[in-house]
A and B are shown apart, each in its own frame.
Chain A
């Protein structure tokens, strides 16, 4: 990793930052906001799944906790949206630490870890669907009330930039992982936990650090989601859809690379829109494309889109 490798990252962010000021229609802006929120959730997943090799199938647990915390604190306790956002990220991180502590201390990995995270997310979903605090099955509706304190802007581009800022921060965090001792330890644990421990790596602590950071980032995505749509129910917050989106984006984009989740989210959401356009109103057709895409990536391009680009770039000088 050299300074030059940071270039695509900066370029992507700059491009995304100027895009809404080039006369994009509102629907395209909405599409970008949703895509960036999913990219953010995916960036979170990638910290644990990509760099740490621990595949979670239940990142909805963190996404939903962030979203519900933001909404409940505003609606029930009169907090402003910024406080809700901070608390949502904090709570999501704590949930991540708790789930991580229980599962990693029990030595769960691979399929078992995937299953236990999935089960935790389902427990949260059922609880949120039943509890009064979270609005039960009816869900929660945030009041439409533009203002700085409510994080609702009459110019939607401002909210878009806020989301982009979070994506930028998560990208920075991923870059830091690639270049730090923590990251080296995390990758070592992914590759071979026993060998890492022999070299003085506290594997449990490293994995806990990873799941905390991962959960925090994905929780931030949840907070922004509810601020954007102003509505939340248990199926949205803790549903399997977000667990799946959060893992699809990095895997399709390039697992364990900083830029992968962003590239993957853009590619997948673009693909989704395209299939919907082609197939008309057939429900589920975009997800069929996602699933097929996942299988194809694993079979033919295990390093995702980023890996493909790198392979092409690496080949070019040899051909020249």
Chain B
């Protein structure tokens, strides 16, 4: 474990800064190596279009993973994010369709704004519920979020009658640009991803709240003695993650304009993997938001390269992903 933060919960990260920086290079080195390999295997890999495709599809998992970094650094976990995204998407679609089809149909932009607001509110609500059950209710985060994983997905499946929920066609046309449009040559989801990542890094490293999150993850008891309001900080981390999931969903819905019972399946594992590959310990205490961002990009680059080549059997693709993940974890391993 990290010995220093336990004795100085107020400012844990600074004394380790040098070591942290060294460890942080691992995922970047891996990403650069992967990109070189990708270019050698297929020159199309290095095109701007492909780069933007990869970054755009990383945005969902990446944004969720930034929120997940906070939860994991604080010593928690959230297994429900994929189901939560699916449910938020489903509810958004149902409500937006109703607003358009209702007795007093609203204009498309207003409906979209209402949908976005609803999504953010739902994310915050679900996150707060998680946080309260975990801190006040004193139930293991693993169990609480495993439970809601089932609940969220079941409710969506019920809403969709097992099939798909599709956004009204005209709304879909109006909302589509949120995913497909570019600003200054960069797709909107990538901008949002960048903003969330920068915001997350600033909050985790430059605010008292961020320090408290790290302190709680290092040693909850000591954090309590240091007069940190542990319960409040914990609830806030889950709330933050819920909002991140909602932001990801707001970007996801315009892509296909639909939610199905398979929407967001296994996103939780991808998000957790991105966090850990990026150098945050699953045991909590310390983490880097930028590492998480690199981790998320790395994971989708592997899939992208595998799709752009056919040197190995498609049956072995998941094995390649597994090998790369373990190799990167090895590169950035810390001292136990």
Q: Do A and B come from one complex?
A: no
Report which B residues bind A (CB closer than 8 A): none
Report which A residues bind B (CB closer than 8 A): none
